[in-house]
Amino acid sequence: MDAVVVGAGPNGLAAAVTLARAGLEVVVLEAQDTVGGGTRTLDLGLAPGVAHDICSAVHPMAWASPFFRSLRLHERLDLLTPAASFAQPLDGGRAAIAYRDLDRTADGLGADGAAWRDTFGPLAERWQDVVALALGDHRSVPAGATPRSAVTAARFALAVLRNGQSVVPSALRTEEGAALLTGVAGHAITPLPSLAAAGTAVLLTTLAHVEHGWPVVRGGSQAIADALLADLVRLGGRVVTGRPVARRADLPPARAYLFDTGPRLVAQVFGDAMPPHLVRAYAGFRYGNAAAKVDLVVDGPIPWAHPDVHRAGTVHLGGTRDQVVAAERAVGRGRHAEQPLTLLSDPASLDHGRVSGGLRPVWAYAHVPAGSDVDPTETVIRQVERFAPGFRDTVVASHGIPAARLAEHDANLVGGDISGGAISLVGMFTRPTPRLDPFATGAPGVYLCSASAPPGPGVHGLSGWYAARRALRQVFGRADPAA
């Protein structure tokens, strides 16, 4: 065996495909019974024929990922693009909406329209530069960077600075504009304002306004894992499911090991081969705040009070900027917010094949403190009802998972942290530890290839790609033929 990958999430599969297309013999060991990690779509037994995305549902990063593009996944997957990438309903039947069309968005934002257009227009035009910067390995200058890339980088940094701190006011002054961007910043699950959350917001909002916006994949996120698995098998690789790795004896002999897991497992398995300071750093790796997941089955479209919210593939339920900031602050202090920021998607509004017998899945999660053992179902239904009166009556079945239990179906989700580690500006540039090579673990031939390594969370496969390219070069003296 040339290489073993532990974990068949998008990054593990990406690493395995990268190694296999360089001609290596690769096996992936996956703890769960099905392949895909954060890209699994499962029948939870809530309603016949209704399947749920148990982790990720919406895929701007998958569409933009340079690795997935090297496999032409952006063309092979059936991506369904909503007219609006995301929406932020406000009390009283109002809403702010980020349409895929930048001008329409700006027109809807009134006094903030010009600021939104000025910020995101130039970034959307140069989205590849934005992706190279934000989804790079956070250590090196992006390959192919030009002087124009430097201008884009400066624009990106300025947008992050203007929206990620409270000293200089944001250019967005209306309640709608401020709330719209704050809802996206909330994806970082970290107290706001913060530069790391603003970086997340600027990247995701840029992608909201390019070709595919924030798409869902026909049939659910599993299609991404299935496409990666098909490539791996075609290249001679394989995945063994139901094979948790906890110690060295669980691993077959190989020249390289790549871990699509948290750093703590690497320290547990290969600690004796790692320098002591790295063992300490890996064992003490810091996780962040959490999400509690709710999968619902409803018997019709969501009755949003604002008529255009249903056009959005993703809805951020949190209200105004101040309300979202207060909710995220509560979570940051270890308390449950009464009205937590809740993310919701109704994929069947685009993908009619997800409706079965008149019933459809609704995907949602609420931000909660790390390790929360509270069932989020009632809080989430209340938060949707706030902006869609009558929603409660459409719910025919539900399945809530407290943050503390998310790791039962994916051990990487420690305490319900869905980001592979706490998000902070420094953390994004130093995860998993402040070293020049963030993928090398210090144990010869052993690499970290999960979202706990750069560029961090999201379905993009890039941590796997970057780690596998290093393994190819350092262990096998080969190059990735597609790089």
Ligand X SMILES: Cc1cc2nc3c(=O)[nH]c(=O)nc-3n(C[C@H](O)[C@H](O)[C@H](O)COP(=O)(O)OP(=O)(O)OC[C@H]3O[C@@H](n4cnc5c(N)ncnc54)[C@H](O)[C@@H]3O)c2cc1C
Q: Tokens representing 431? A: 């995860």
In the bound complex, what is the minimum distance in angstroms from residue 254's beta carbon to ligand X?
15
Residues 419-450 as b or e (16 or more Cβ within 10 Å = b):
bbbbbbbebbebbbbeeeebbbbbbebbbbbb
CB of 79 to ligand X, least distance (A): 13
Q: Whole-angstrom distance between the N-terminal and C-terminal Cα of the chain?
A: 24
Nearest distance, CB of residue 8 and ligand X, angstroms: 5
Eight-class DSSP state of 49 = T
Q: Residue 94 pairs with which residues in a beta bridge?
A: 90
Residue 180, both tokens:
């719209």
Nearer to ligand X, 19 or 55 (CB): 55
Question: For ligand X, which is the closer residue by CB, 172 or 294?
Answer: 294
- Catalog residues that contact ligand X under the rule CB under 6 A: 6-12, 29-32, 37-39, 55-59, 61, 244-245, 260-261, 265, 291, 293, 365, 410-413, 418, 420, 450-451, 457-459, 463
Supply the minimum distance, in Å, between the C-beta of residue 402 and ligand X: 12
Q: Closer to ligand X at the Cβ: 8 or 109?
A: 8
Q: How far apart are CA 329 and CA 239, in angstroms?
A: 41
Per the CB < 8 A criterion, the answer to whether 1 and 212 are in contact is: no
Burial (Cβ within 10 Å: 0-12, 13-18, ≥19) of residue 162 = middle
- CB of 102 closer than 8 Å to CB of 209: yes
Q: What's the closest the beta carbon of residue 299 comes to ligand X, in angstroms?
A: 24
Query: Which C-beta is closer to ligand X: that of 108 or that of 464?
Result: 464
Spell out the residues 6+ positions from residue 140 whose beta carbon is closer than 8 angstroms to its own: none
The residues, ordered by sequence, that sit 6+ positions from 120 with a Cβ below 8 Å of its Cβ are 102, 159, 205, 206, 208, 209
HSE (side-chain half, CA atoms, 13 Å) at 120: 31
470 close to 447: Cβ distance less than 8 angstroms:
yes
In the complex with ligand X, the residue whose CB is nearer, 109 or 291, is 291
- Bridge partners for 42 per DSSP: 52
Residue 177 vs 445, nearer CB to ligand X: 445
Q: 84 or 171, CB closer to ligand X? A: 84
Q: In whole angstroms, how close is the CB of 244 to ligand X at the nearest point?
A: 4
DSSP-derived 3-state class of residue 229: helix
CB of 56 to ligand X, least distance (A): 3
Q: Smallest gap, in angstroms, from Cβ of residue 406 to ligand X?
A: 6
Q: Which of 258, 230, 224, 237 is nearest to 20 (CA)?
A: 237
Closest distance of CB 295 from ligand X, Å: 10
Please identify the residue of the shown chain whose CB is closest to the bound ligand X. 9
Q: Which is nearer to ligand X, 35 or 172 (CB)?
A: 35
Least Cα distance to 11 among 56, 76, 47, 75 occurs for: 56
Contact 349, 315 (CB under 8 A): no
Alpha carbon of 274 to those of 117, 151, 288, 434: distances in Å? 49, 41, 25, 15
Q: What is the DSSP letter of 399?
A: E
Nearer to ligand X by Cβ, of 34 and 128: the residue is 34
**Nearest distance from residue 50's CB to ligand X, in Å?**
18
Comparison of 12 and 340: residue with beta carbon closer to ligand X:
12
Closer to ligand X by Cβ: residue 10 or 340: 10
**465: buried, middle or exposed (CB in 10 Å: 19+, 13-18, 0-12)?**
buried
Residues 363 and 53 sit within 8 Å (Cβ to Cβ): yes
Task: Provide the minimum distance between the beta carbon of 477 and ligand X in the complex, in angstroms, as a whole number.
Answer: 26
